[in-house]
Chains A and B, each alone.
Chain A
Amino acid sequence: MSDTLPFTPLPNPMGTDGIEFVEFATSDPDALGQLLRAMGFRCTARHRSKQVLLYRQGDINFIVNAEPDSFAQHYAQQRGPSICAIALRVKDARAATLRARELGAWEVDMGSGVMELHIPAFQGVGGSLLYLVDRYGEHSIYDVDFLPLPAKEENEHASLDSIWQLTQSVPGERISDWQDFYQHLFGFVAGEEHPDHSGVLYSPCGKIRLLLQATQLEGALSEGLTAVTLSSIKLDHTLQHLQQQGLSLRQEQDGQQLVFQLQHATLLGFAIRQAEGN
């Protein structure tokens, strides 16, 4: 693909290569699990030693963390169901970690149990974590830390394929601080800026899109990852599936594209759009 790009590839000092997983913190894993199933996800594995489940669909990995007394539980207690971590795929986690440290990223020691992988973690927005993962694809981190669950579930996929965008909400005056942060650390570049001062950042690998959005909230909980937008390879099918599952959607126009916001009880945002190139 890359040799057909009409422009020079961007420098990619961290070797980013997309999003490996999004981790959700919740004290009610059943409710979130039910929602994810209705969205066409399958629970494919559980963590060897923790109350942590892996949900998959297409190239999307969602981790639902309900481990008692964990970082995630503390996070969920403060914020309700929320995104407490994201893992970025990088070509070489060790090199990326060294570089991140050198540039002032705040390393967080999450510890790791016996037989568990050590995944380097850094402080992200709103107390969330940024993991760097270089085991993905054929040999994944889930092979080591997770036990596969039998594929007994009959639920049908909903043609959701990949994570199109993550939304990070911060007070308006903090948007440029965070732009600097992602540019400096990961070589992200700024895309179009919207009239409401929200802005989009792209990773140099082109696979991560981050929307920085202004929030009216103030105080300690004002910053965080608040929404994830998923690409559907067959939007008609996805919408039909979600409606059959009793999920209601609110249609919005985002530039040329239609985006469908999932209407559900928590503040955690899920949205669907048509994959590009389809």
Chain B
Amino acid sequence: MDARRFAIDTAPLQGSLQDKLQAMSAAGFSQLTLWAQDLMSEPEGGLAQTVRTVRHSGMKVIGFEALRDFEGMSGRFLEYKIDLAKTMMRMMQQVGAELLVVSATTSPNAAGDLETTAAHLRLLSTLATPLGIRIGFEPLAWGRYVHDYHVAWQVVEMVNRQNVGLVLDSFHLFARGIPLDDLYRIPMHKLFLVQLSDAMSDYLPLLEEMVHISRHQRSFPGEGVHSMALVDMLVRLEMAGYQGNYAFEVANDEFLTQDAHSVASRAARSVDWLCRTVSQRLQDSGC
């Protein structure tokens, strides 16, 4: 496996955007996933300054996060969300980001029928096309209607647009104990990004616990209880022909008390471990 397919998210790193990018780069990463709020984080110089920071870093932004609670809205809520989506897409264009991560809605105000979900993703697809942006729909463990990759894939198929695909986050799959047996059924070119993280505990019966651990206690692959499950997931994806990127989507409060460089190095060690272990497993199975 090629380590260059791995990206790291800004979330686990402490400091200014520039600090984060430097730490990633120093640890050997050349790609990252970025949050809209990262670009609004500069007190002086604003958006123009953060855009310059990203451009000058030479790092490639492979995912832009996250448009939430979009689909299923109506009336002025939908209008507001469309404006937000446009703002994000303009930012993406400036930093050269191609993939907008759209996470399945959690809103009680959202309509849940899949037809509406598909129609609203088509709307995003049309908005995105002139800007060369792709839309990645991501099921969430606590998504209101879409919390499983089977349903998310069904939606993407209904959408039936070239620039709309799937984003999968290992945490959300494992938190619900969703079997990975059907992953290979997804045409791998429609899987736009795979986000990876480990976790410190496995059994998450309560939604609140899931959300809490997801937002505060994730860790890098190889550091927690999901290590071997992650290896298994990557082996499945690689064998199914996935050629896209992996991004470490790791939010952890403790990381934020540490130096960005040491956390980024930890991430790099994790990439190294994953690449070696997965390659070995692929070799063993004759691939």
B126 & A185 in contact (Cβ 8 Å cutoff): yes
B130 & A104 in contact (Cβ 8 Å cutoff): no
> Is residue A23 within 8 Å, beta carbon to beta carbon, of the partner chain?
no
- Residues of B close to A180: CB separation below 8 A: 125, 129, 161-163
A-B pair count, CB < 8 Å, reads 44
A174 & B124 in contact (Cβ 8 Å cutoff): no
Other-chain residue from A104, A125, A179, A223 in contact with B126 (beta carbon distance below 8 A): A104
Provide the main secondary structure of the chain A interface. Answer: helix
> Is residue A124 within 8 Å, beta carbon to beta carbon, of the partner chain?
yes
B123 & A103 in contact (Cβ 8 Å cutoff): yes
> Is residue A136 within 8 Å, beta carbon to beta carbon, of the partner chain?
no
> Is residue B122 within 8 Å, beta carbon to beta carbon, of the partner chain?
yes
B129 & A178 in contact (Cβ 8 Å cutoff): yes
Closest Cβ of chain A to B88, distance in Å, is: 13
In the complex, residue of chain A having the shortest beta-carbon distance to the beta carbon of B162:
A176
A177 & B126 in contact (Cβ 8 Å cutoff): no
In the complex, residue of chain B having the shortest beta-carbon distance to the beta carbon of A127:
B130
Other-chain residue from B86, B126, B130, B131 in contact with A184 (beta carbon distance below 8 A): B126
- Residues of A close to B127: CB separation below 8 A: 104-106
> Is residue B132 within 8 Å, beta carbon to beta carbon, of the partner chain?
yes
B129 & A103 in contact (Cβ 8 Å cutoff): no
Tell me which residues from 171 to 209 in chain A have a Cβ below 8 Å from any Cβ of chain B: 174, 176-181, 184-185
In the complex, residue of chain B having the shortest beta-carbon distance to the beta carbon of A128:
B130
Provide the main secondary structure of the chain B interface. Answer: helix
Q: Provide the bound-state CA to CA distance between A54 and B224, in Å.
A: 69
- Residues of B close to A78: CB separation below 8 A: none
B163 & A177 in contact (Cβ 8 Å cutoff): yes
A103-B132 contact in complex given A177-B162, A180-B161, A180-B163, C-beta closer than 8 Å: no
- Residues of A close to B130: CB separation below 8 A: 106, 123-125, 127, 181
Q: Provide the bound-state CA to CA distance between A127 and B127, in Å.
A: 13
Tell me which residues from 82 to 112 in chain A have a Cβ below 8 Å from any Cβ of chain B: 102-106
Q: Provide the bound-state CA to CA distance between A106 and B126, in Å.
A: 8
B37-79 interface mask toward A, CB cutoff 8 Å, 1 = contact, 0 = none? 0000000000000000000000000000000000000000000
**Closest 8 pairs (CB-CB, A-B):** A104-B126, A104-B123, A176-B162, A104-B127, A181-B129, A123-B130, A177-B163, A180-B161
Q: What are 6 A-B interface contacts by the 8 Å CB criterion?
A: A177-B162, A178-B129, A179-B162, A180-B125, A181-B126, A223-B132
Q: Hey, which bits of chain A sit against chain B, CB under 8 A?
A: 102-106, 123-125, 127, 174, 176-181, 184-185, 223
Q: Hey, which bits of chain B sit against chain A, CB under 8 A?
A: 82, 86, 122-127, 129-132, 161-163
